[in-house]
Structure 1
Amino acid sequence: MDFKKIYILGFVLLAFVVSASAQKVKTAGNPVFKGWYADPEGIIFDNEYWIFPTYSAPYHEQIFMDAFSSKDLVKWKKHKSIIDTTEVKWAKYAMWAPAIIKKDDKYFLFFAANDIQNNEQPGGIGIGIADKPEGPYKDYLGKPLLDKIHNGAQPIDQFIFHDKDGQYYMIYGGWGHCNIVKMKDDFTGFIPYEDGTIFKEITPEGYVEGPFMFIRNGKYYFMWSEGGWGGPHYQVAYAIANSPFGPFKRIGVVLKQDPTVATGAGHHSLIQIPGEDNWYIVYHRRPLGETDANHRVTCVDKLTFDDNGYIQPVKITFEGVKRKEL
């Protein structure tokens, strides 16, 4: 018996098994990347997944934003400081809740800054512009796009919604009020509605902040966060309407804490696989045992619908989602 050949064959087989095991479908695990990050905006650019989150820290330290990219939802690459307060001169602190859209080969990164409490304070919602999703982003306007409180809505938590007719809208608002505004084509300001108003309120019952809208099977789904962002009962609810203006009647909660997994699950976004009815919810939550309000992590889990088009309650997991290449 040639023990040397047997040894070599065994080594080759072991290497094959290890290699095959490494290539098996894995899950991302939650959180999907290290660090305290919240308010994540998930999106697909050029066959690659991207997440743009808030750097979750005390406001005076919240002066930059990182981004993360992945080709398979499992392995994520960090892109450091894609925008910061040295570039946006009017923003001093509390940069948060990024929203991003690609238009005319440019990337527009919307953000809130300075946590303004009245119409005399400088700050509000601004825009960064870049040639690549990872930036670097430059201040597009040199000033806030929106720096005033309308209909009781603090100018934060903006989401850019691209309607099926091509029109872009910004949906935003904190303090329990949500507005929808019609964007100019170059994103430099707003277009009045036919009745002459600019800020239409679409606040549903229970709304606190974190709006998100999408279309599925011709219906407009509106989602938002409820409760206090620093507490354990933060959650996401939704409504369905025939128009981006509603009326939106609250249907129920789809994302919330699981005392065996994590608390404070909220401020989300969705990723849809192009051409498929395959959806992922990207959100933040607070690990068990954490009491610091800023100790939030970004996670991804599956989101599904029932046969009637209602969103089924999301099961938050430690495992996360399976590998999915585009």
Structure 2
Amino acid sequence: MPDQGFDNSGFAYVGNPIVRDRFTADPAPLVVGDTLYLYTGHDEAGEGEMFNITRWLAYSTKDMVRWNDHGAIMEPADFAWAARDAWASQVHEKDGRYWFYTAVEHDPDQGSAGKAIGVAVSESPLGPFRDARGSALVRNEDTDGPHHWDDIDPTVWTGNDGQSWLIWGNGNCYLAPLGDDMVSLAGPIRTIDLPDFEEGPWIFRRGDIFYLAYASMDKAIDPDERISYATAPAITGPWTWRGEITGSAENSFTIHPGIARFRGEWYLFYHVGTLSVDGQEGGLGRRAVAVERLRFDEDGLILPVEQTEAGILEGS
């Protein structure tokens, strides 16, 4: 096979999970030209800890088989107003710049408390990223949510008209237009009504259909998250619930969708708790990113996805 940019820090995909030398969570793919970049959090929870996500990592591939490990691209301390927690993120390209939207814990000594959304920017998908505004884009007090961690898990979409939109939330799903500067809100925050919405929204478009995948939870049936989705003719709705894409993650009550089209195929990234690293068993705060192919029926509805160890290996 000809060289496709595989470097000495790389590894080969041998099935799920993708990364096997450390715990990764909250996958966020980005396609730029002939390369798919995958951003994750670095799970480092010890025994008795729920979450300890210390930094954001980046990987890349040109063929979904050979992967480059680019290491850490940011830490919460790179936001001077943040206290900790490298929670779920997404990198969004617009006009040749790369905008990194993410959730962190706001430093209570700097005027706010609870989870908040920050935005960083770079001229490259691999950084260096810098805080693009010097303060949180969305603070806990900016939304009327059910708890202090409702402002998490940002996903961004830019339409053909150049208007960008931010969707995020836990408990409530929020939507707001972004300003042309990509670091301000250009309109009021509204909510999207989605059945059993828990967290982790991911927005994408295929043809004339907008899709909003998210982590759902029906506590009366199952205390673990699953991935559901809705569709709409426009990003502002109306949204129609379409059902589940896939069930709960093995050995993890959280699950987090990241969806991208690359080299003519659609892929669903998510995380599970099945990996063991250096004697540490996987679980809630020690998750591992996996991937499956995503397929659609003739009406554009997403076909159910089975989570497998083989993943996207040929013939799977």
Question: Smaller-chain TM-score range?
Answer: 0.7 to 0.9
Residues 41 and 54 in structure 2, CA contact (< 8 A), matched pair in contact too: no
Matched, 1:206 2:196: yes
- Backbone CA RMSD of aligned residues: 2.7
2:185 to 190, 210, 222: 190
Distance of 1:299 and 1:60 partners within structure 2? 19
* Residue aligning to 1:124: 116
The structure with the larger Rg is 1
- In the alignment, residue 34 of structure 2 is paired with which amino acid? N
- Residues in 1 aligned to 2:94 and 2:175: alpha-carbon distance in whole angstroms: 20
Report matched runs for 1:1-326 at 5 Å: 28-34=14-20, 35-58=22-45, 61-114=52-105, 120-121=112-113, 124-147=116-139, 148-152=141-145, 154-174=150-170, 176-192=171-187, 198-227=188-217, 233-257=224-248, 264=253, 266-273=255-262, 276=264, 278-287=265-274, 292-322=283-313
Aligned to 2:8: none
Mapped contact 1:82–1:136 kept (Cα < 8 A)? yes
Q: CA deviation at 1:292?
A: 3.5
Q: Distance in 2 between matches of 1:65 and 1:187?
A: 21
Distance 1:273 1:267, change over 3 A: same
| Cα distance in 2, alignment partners of residues 232 and 121 from structure 1 | 28
Contact persistence 1:63–1:92 (CA under 8 A): no
8 A Cα contact 1:28 1:321, kept in partner: no
Per the alignment, in what secondary structure is the counterpart of residue 86 of structure 1? helix
Q: For the residues of structure 2 that align with 1:232 and 1:295, how far apart are their CA atoms? A: 19
Amino acid at match of 1:76: W
Q: Deviations over 1:27-65 (max 9, x none)?
A: 641111122111100111231111101112348842321
**1:267 to partner: Cα distance:** 0.7
Q: Which residue of 1 aligns with 2:4?
A: none
Distance 2:262 2:114 in 1: 39
What is the CA-CA distance between 1:149 and the residue it aligns to?
4.1
Please give the per-residue CA displacement for 1:232-263, whole angstroms capped at 9, x wherever unaligned. Answer: 7321001112121223232211111476xx65
Distance in 1, Cα, partners of 2:227 & 2:87: 18
- How far residue 167 of structure 1 moved from its aligned partner, in angstroms, is 1.1
Q: Is the 8 A contact 1:265 1:286 kept in 2?
A: no
Pairwise CA distance, 1:322: 3.9
TM-score scaled by structure 2?
0.82
Given that 2:76 and 2:85 are in contact with CA atoms closer than 8 Å, whether structure 1 keeps it comes out as no
Cα gap change, 1:131/1:312 in structure 2, threshold over 3 Å: closer, same or farther?
A: same
* Distance in 1 separating the partners of 2:101 and 2:249: 31
Shift of 1:227: 2.8
Q: Which runs of 5+ in 2 are unaligned?
A: 1-11
* Alpha-carbon separation, structure 2, partners of 1:223 and 1:38: 17
Identify if the C-alpha distance between structure 1 residues 115 and 291 changes in structure 2 by more than 3 Å, giving closer, same or farther: farther
SS in 2 for 1:281: strand
Structure 1's 200 and 293: CA in aligned 2 closer, same or farther, altered over 3 A? same
Distance 2:248 2:183 in 1: 39
Shift of 1:105: 2.1
Rounded to whole Å, the distance in 2 between the matches of 1:87 and 1:146 is 17
Asked if 1 retains the 8 angstrom alpha-carbon contact of 2:197 and 2:214, the reply is: yes
How big is the shift at 1:222? 1.4
The aligned amino acid for 2:210 is Y
The Cα of 1:190 is off from its aligned counterpart by 1.0
SS of the equivalent of 1:78 reads strand
Deviations 1:171-220 (A, max 9, x none): 0111x10111100111121112xxxxx11111311101111122223111
Give the alignment's TM-score, normalised by structure 1: 0.80
Q: Letter of the aligned partner of 2:184 in structure 1?
A: G
Query: Deviation string for 1:247-292 (max 9, x for gaps)?
Result: 3232211111476xx6547211111136x4x200011112189573
Correspondence for 1:13 = none
Q: Distance in 2 between matches of 1:258 and 1:140?
A: 34
Between the aligned partners of 1:120 and 1:27, the Cα distance in structure 2 is 42
